[in-house]
Amino acid sequence: MPPGESLAALPLHPDAARRGPPPRAGEEFAPLDALADFPAIPAGWAYLDTAATAQKPQPVIDAITRGYARDYATVHRGVYQRSADMTLAYEAARRRVAGFIGAQEDEIVFVRGATEGINLVAQCWAGTQLRAGDRILLSALEHHSNIVPWQMVAEANGLAIDVVPLTDDHRIDLDAMAAMLTPAHKLVALAHVSNVLGSVLDVAGAAALAHGVGAKLLVDGCQAVPRMTVDVAALGCDFYVFSGHKLYGPTGIGVLWGRADLLSAMPPYQGGGAMIDRVTFERTTYAPPPARFEAGTPHIVGVLGLHAAIDYVEGVGLERIHAHETALVQATRDALSAINSVTLFGPEDSAGIVSFAVKGVHPHDIGTILDESRVAIRAGHHCAQPLMVLLGVPATARASFGVYNSLDDVAALARGIERVTRIFG
């Protein structure tokens, strides 16, 4: 950041959207207490691991507490009033999610997380629609959750997997993708934002390329939905998945969005209660989507918490969140690039994530020393071992940001890395 320029500190309360537009370039932001809504972050602790899981604001905690302590009942089954009220709240959350990503509510399937959403598509769409000789296209930066399910279905069905390389600045190479795609490719599965590099995919461009050869596009949106506006219709993809816990919501809840015609053509993932039309010992018929894919008693309170989390981030404003994190990323890259032994990965304009290495120091040692200074980062392969091989490192250290972070956290990280270099010489 230029000397003397202050960071865009964000309003962090549900009425933030009514406080006026964000400042224009060159204007200063009034500093606000970013920690006020996050009781699990004590003063002086720099939590820089939001890409792994976000801390929870008080409105989400309150929604979960109310769900269990005051309002709890099952959904879609009881005829008594509280059950009916909880069913209404549960389905209102589905409508809220749909509006959040520009979808229709009957296209929203609640799952345990993005991992389950990808596995569902792998088994119920790819596993039933693809045939021996068909091909799947991934990229070199994918999370294991967007690699392993496709390998499993490929092995079971005689499919082949191809991998798109990265550009020099660590983005998915769409020119290479265009050259690789053939009519044999039936599915492309890519991350919207890399969980290691923070690089942002041109989803609309990728969708156009995939559709140009008749392939479907699945997008892993885990790192995108907490920090940027997502409109699946505008993006043009066919499936989109994300997890609630990275969106300041609870664990154990996530979303699979799929185009209605695709979901309708897919068989169910699991059998049990709620996903049926009629059951006899001779034969069972299934409910239409999304109920077809939601067997058993769902994570009711998790869905309520996800609703509250979406309300929260939209109250802050996704444009403000993105601007805030962009400033933090730039400040971090500036600070770390000034340390000779540090290597930075990813593009300059990475979204909310900075991965790095310190020469001669294992990332686990970096993480341990930083923890002594009350700075929490992620250290490891980040469930992206093929990418680590491509980068030529066994692991990286990763700082990732959320609405509660500030320049003080960036300064604490930089001081910690300087301490690491002193300790290891």
pLDDT in tens, 97-118: 999 999 999 999 999 999 999 9
pLDDT value of residue 152: 98
**DSSP 8-state secondary structure symbol assigned to residue 249:** S
| Domain at 61-314, CATH class | alpha beta
φ/ψ of 241, rounded to 5, equals -130, 150
Quote the Cα angle for 275-279-280, to 5°. Answer: 165
- Pairing of the two strands 342-345 and 353-358: antiparallel
pLDDT value of residue 34: 52
Q: Looking at the domain 16-48+318-423, which fold is it?
A: Aspartate Aminotransferase, domain 1 (3.90.1150)
Residue-level pLDDT, tens digit, the chain, 425 residues:
333 333 333 333 333 332 333 444 333 433 335 578 999 999 999 999 999 999 999 999 999 999 999 999 999 988 999 999 999 999 999 999 999 999 999 999 999 999 999 999 999 999 999 999 999 999 999 999 999 999 999 999 999 999 999 999 999 999 999 999 999 999 999 999 999 999 999 999 999 999 999 999 999 999 999 999 999 999 999 999 999 999 999 999 999 999 999 999 999 999 999 999 999 999 999 999 999 999 999 999 999 999 999 999 999 999 999 999 999 999 999 999 999 999 999 999 999 999 999 999 999 999 999 999 999 999 999 999 999 999 999 999 999 999 999 999 999 999 999 999 999 98
Both structure tokens of 108: 């929203």
Annotation marks residue 383 as catalytic: yes
Coil, strand, or helix at residue 342?
strand
Domain extent listing, the chain:
16-48+318-423, 61-314
| 312 to 6, 12, 57, 58, 321: CA distances (angstroms) | 24, 8, 8, 10, 11
- Catalytic residue, candidates 124, 222, 237, 383: 383
pLDDT in tens, 331-385: 999 999 999 999 999 999 999 999 999 999 999 999 999 999 999 999 999 999 9
φ/ψ of 342, rounded to 5, equals -95, 135
pLDDT value of residue 21: 38
DSSP E strand stretches across 45-116: 46-47, 108-111
Q: Return the number of other C-beta atoms located less than 10 Å from residue 322's C-beta.
A: 18
User: Is the Cβ–Cβ distance between 189 and 150 less than 8 Å?
Assistant: yes
* CATH topology match: 16-48+318-423 vs 61-314: no
Q: Which amino acid is residue 79, in one-letter code?
A: V
- Verdict on whether the full-model pTM lies above 0.75: yes
- From the list 246, 117, 243, 255, the residue with the least C-alpha distance to 189 is 117
